[in-house]
Structure 1
Amino acid sequence: MNEFTFEETNLLCIYNGSGGGTREGLIAFLEEMRGYLEPDEDELRDLTDSALSKLRSMSDGEFDALDLYPDFDAEDAAHAE
């Protein structure tokens, strides 16, 4: 399985709940979201395409094993410095 980058993981964390918490739901939601991107949003489109490719190539079991919850403790610690 391809490993997700930090940016891809963040994208998945943001949209996982909107996709119902399932791999297929997240794929469908990301595909829909991609359709709303403006022509100048190349980076987000490329990031979304990469994440979608990896999601499509994995099994539901592999998806279920992902930790798609933001780590607020790490974010809070970064802001405290």
Structure 2
Amino acid sequence: MALEMELSPVTEEAFKKYFRELLLEQVNEIRQDEMKSRPYLNKKDMAAWLGVSKNTLDKFIIGKQTALEFLKDHETYML
């Protein structure tokens, strides 16, 4: 049983925008979950995970555990 509706162009565009944003949100969530499960990240992913620029991590590939330990050791300095 199919439900068919005729929408105005404005409403149709609003629905498209809503579903596009919903889909992008889900894709980003899946990417974040996938990144959390990897024990090592490349520079681009590590920079995104830490919320810093790629230049900050230039020439390094850092284990997440090492980064977490560093952040825990220095969390009072990050305020």
* Category of TM-score, reference length = shorter chain: under 0.3
TM-score normalised by structure 1 residue count: 0.25
The structure that has the greater radius of gyration is 2
Higher relative contact order at CA 8 Å, sep ≥6: structure 1 or structure 2? 1
